[in-house]
Structure 1
């Protein structure tokens, strides 16, 4: 039986935490519920329980995140929040780490805002590549806002103070209510049809999400994106963000800030002009001084004082150069002629006809040498052949037969001893001029010494 392996509580808790952290359904989740047991820590963190009729979950919203809240959470308040679910290892309990939170009363608007924001972002309406640059020195500035609101007063005051040269054209629009979105979109379209505006400020003062909702409508976002005039959005306060802010070419935290971004400061321009004027004066003075020094140098130079002597000197130098050029030309011509003759001789040596003649002579010489060598080899081989024939004749058994000898065979075997035959056997005797078939009648042995 295998041994049971136990895990520690820490290991088990870490394993469960990893399961929570990798689940995509838990890393970005929207929850609604009621706040209870709310506790604001001295360090700014918010701890509370989120509950409904049948369940509850612990929640925490850290100080760095809850600074952007526009309301004060309280016990019994119903909220909509976005966050991630994870495990707090020390207690082993799971809880929601809150990233955003809104009162449930405006939850539907907030969800619509987030949905439209994601859609337009996917389409690329927020991409920086589509952002148009804001002109540095605009002549005409269009402002789309309510003609009676505080925003237009702040914008006009700021522009008149900073850059009175610019002309401000107000294009009135509704900035709050059911018809506000269509009104703002129509005003943007009208501003583009004028064809004289350099930059456009679109916005209004601060307010709740319902009051700013016109700038979260899709019709306004798409009209801002389609505008040929660079647009600065100026909606609400610094902490307010609308869809118009993300689509616009530049976002200003407030209407006053939009006016400051739209125009330069007149006094700063005057300071810059004065500085460049001084730099230009110094540059011109330095140029005049430099040219004066060059003129003085030319006036005191030898050429300026003694032009005739310089002319005669240059004439003499010219004669020397012409003479040197003539010599160099002659030398170059001679060198080229020598080179040509050398190449001509080399070409004559490698002419095909001469090469053929030389090859023919070499061929004939080699053939004569080959014939001589062959004749010598044949003579030598003929002498060797005759000598070999003479040796063969001397050793040939046929020559021995000429002296009366013969060869005896029995069944094609040469008989050299009487021990190889028996009486009565048929033998073949080969003589000089023919063969004899003989029968052995008797055998007589003879000693070697006899």
Structure 2
């Protein structure tokens, strides 16, 4: 009889479906780093692989719509950083990751750290416009914090010389690349504030890779810029390069030369003022769009969890799995048939009449010789044993006794009658003589 808990009995399909929804809703999107192994790219266009480290591994799938955005070809043994959602492949009950994006571990780690620090500082309000100091419209002295041998310094000095040769410039040389650069940049900003000898600071360097510009994404540099009493213009890299220093500085210049134009006076100072306000507007819009993008991604992730394409992706994955099984079965069947064919060929080869006749002739010859020798030995031995047996048998043979006038009486079952009590009236007995036998009935 079913109890009241019968309604809580799950089927396997229902259990897997509930677990999948639980994983997808509770965990959300995660970042994961690891080594690719067992990478597979079927004709469907989807990618299947295992992500592992030294102690564990997890199965992953990246569907065609997402892997088209990957800018490199993944290979087994490659270290990558992926952004994925946790799910469960219901037909097998295996939990897996559905990858949304993938990038090499080095660039990926830096980008992840960049986004993490950006979100942290934004949450503390360091990017707020209310904390930014206005840039002096006509600064009396300009401080430059950059490498004394870099192209950025010469670009700034050339622009200032061309636009406002009388503007005093103080250079605070520092490293702008490498592990020690962040500390030196922060120290240079602190030194400029202690001396209090300039109205505005330009902090920057020329263009480079994300790794080259990484010292300007350091938290120490960001907090030092935010704490500076002197307004700071961030002029790092080219126009497309964005660093944490750009967000926390009082103003961002797209290039070092543009920063020099912002702090110098000439006949186009109104245009410079306009560019300043435009850049400020761009920064505000970029910051606003960045926040809206985060909110949009969050809502998109929630909506995407319920998108029909996920079910199609799971079915497509199942189809790929069945296709692989079919191919494996066909290949196994072909190998099995090839082995059977090889065995049949060998069997036919050994079963050839000529081969068998040759082997049989050799065997017959050998057996004939052995049989001849065995027969000779056996006949000699048998004759000797026969003579001995005949002499022994003749000595104890009951026939010899019967020939002397004796007889032997037996019951129907062949037992010899030795006493009168061995028979009873009505029994049939047989008497053996030397040349015949007599059947009698006891009365």
Higher relative contact order (CA 8 A, sep 6+): 2
* TM score, norm. by length of structure 1: 0.46
* TM score, norm. by length of structure 2: 0.46
